[in-house]
């Protein structure tokens, strides 16, 4: 079974897609709405895609993997020095850029993502609702068979009554043509009686849905450099079931029901099915609820925008001062 995706030569467009609303676009929107405009405009911001360079101090705010063809230019020192600093979204990502591209630590800085806390709420108690909200190539082809395996092998009442909500489409990146190669996956979700396929919705709607769901089921096969979806899910007191792939261990901070990544798809399905079933059975246990309360407290504090804006403004003002006082 192959889970490879063919992006095609035209899918990495020469310019940013204006209607995209993925993690990179959301973070840029949220940060720029909070930054002092004068400080923001002092720099040229390149968010993952290097195109035209302006005659002002430049920041490369990179969200991509170190193996992405879009960042190979950093192997050349003269290209790397086009930027005053390279801003990473996780320590794992910065390490990868050092290993694969030779980016020295002192030329980078890690400033992690931030979210607005999910409001306090009471979750429905009639059944456990699991949720997947990511593009299909990041784990949906693992999750749907795993869901079926879980239902066949775990006969507990909680598991048998559980439902799965799927929010998945490339429309979130304004690339609907890429959905064509996953039509069979969407059809599979639509044909499963206990699975609800919703396509793509806004981040505001996702935040509302998280209050109705109990568990984020994310059998990721993609090395995330950070994961806003997991941050918001954990702020919503959702359990997160995922592998220890990429920056997920760093993002989830030991709160996730995390298992060792299994590159074999069939084995990954089996492992995820087992762990997800146990998570569903455990959700309403007192000890689980205690941990979820601690989890929300941690995520609401650590990924708080006030904290993160202090880091951003301190970093930017310090860099501006150094540039003006060499």
DSSP state, 122? -
Domains identified in the chain and CATH numbers: 23-113+304-324 (no CATH), 129-302 (3.40.50.2000)
pLDDT at 269: 98
- Class of residue 48 by CB neighbours under 10 A (exposed 0-12, middle 13-18, buried 19+): middle
Instruction: State both tokens at 251.
Output: 């993002």
Helix, strand or coil, per DSSP, at residue 164: strand
Question: Angle at Cα 299 formed by Cα 124 and Cα 289, nearest 5°?
Answer: 40
pLDDT at 3: 40
**Segments of the chain scoring below 50 in pLDDT:** 1-20
Strands (E) located in the chain: 44-46, 58-61, 85-88, 108-110, 129-133, 163-167, 195-197, 215-217, 239-243, 257-259
> How many angstroms separate the CA atoms of 130 and 241, rounded?
10
- Class of residue 193 by CB neighbours under 10 A (exposed 0-12, middle 13-18, buried 19+): exposed
DSSP state, 172? G
Reference 143, options 278, 280, 2, 265; nearest CA is 265
pTM, full prediction:
0.90
Cα torsion at 181, 182, 184, 185 (round to 10°)? Answer: 160
């Amino acid at each position: 079974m192959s889970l490879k995706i063919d992006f095609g030569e035209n899918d990495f467009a020469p310019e940013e897609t204006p209607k995209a609303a993925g993690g990179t676009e959301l973070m840029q929107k949220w940060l720029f709405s909070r930054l002092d405009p004068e400080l923001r405009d002092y720099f040229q911001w390149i968010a993952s895609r290097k195109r035209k360079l302006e005659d002002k101090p430049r920041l490369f705010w990179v969200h991509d993997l170190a193996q992405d063809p879009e960042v190979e230019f950093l192997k050349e020192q003269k290209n790397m020095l086009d930027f005053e600093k390279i801003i990473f979204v996780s320590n794992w990502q910065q390490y990868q850029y050092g290993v694969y591209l030779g980016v020295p630590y002192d030329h980078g800085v890690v400033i992690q993502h931030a979210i607005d806390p999910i409001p306090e709420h009471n979750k429905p108690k009639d059944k456990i609702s699991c949720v997947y909200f990511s593009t299909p190539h990041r784990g949906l082809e693992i999750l749907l068979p795993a869901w079926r395996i879980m239902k066949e092998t775990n006969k507990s009442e909680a598991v048998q009554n559980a439902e799965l909500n799927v929010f998945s489409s490339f429309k979130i990146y304004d690339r609907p043509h890429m959905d064509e190669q996953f039509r069979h996956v969407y059809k599979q979700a639509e044909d499963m009686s206990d699975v609800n396929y919703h396509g793509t919705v806004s981040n505001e709607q996702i935040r509302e849905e998280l209050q109705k769901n109990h568990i984020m089921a994310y059998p990721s096969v993609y090395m995330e450099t950070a994961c806003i979806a997991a941050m918001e899910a954990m702020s919503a007191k959702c359990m997160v079931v995922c592998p220890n792939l990429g920056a997920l261990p760093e993002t989830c901070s030991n709160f996730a029901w995390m298992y060792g990544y299994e590159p074999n798809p069939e084995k990954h399905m089996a492992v995820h099915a087992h762990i997800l079933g146990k998570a569903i059975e455990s959700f309403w246990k007192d000890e689980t609820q205690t941990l979820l309360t601690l989890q929300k407290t941690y995520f609401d504090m650590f990924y708080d925008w006030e904290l993160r804006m202090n880091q951003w403004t301190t970093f930017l003002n310090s860099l501006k001062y150094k540039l003006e006082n060499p």
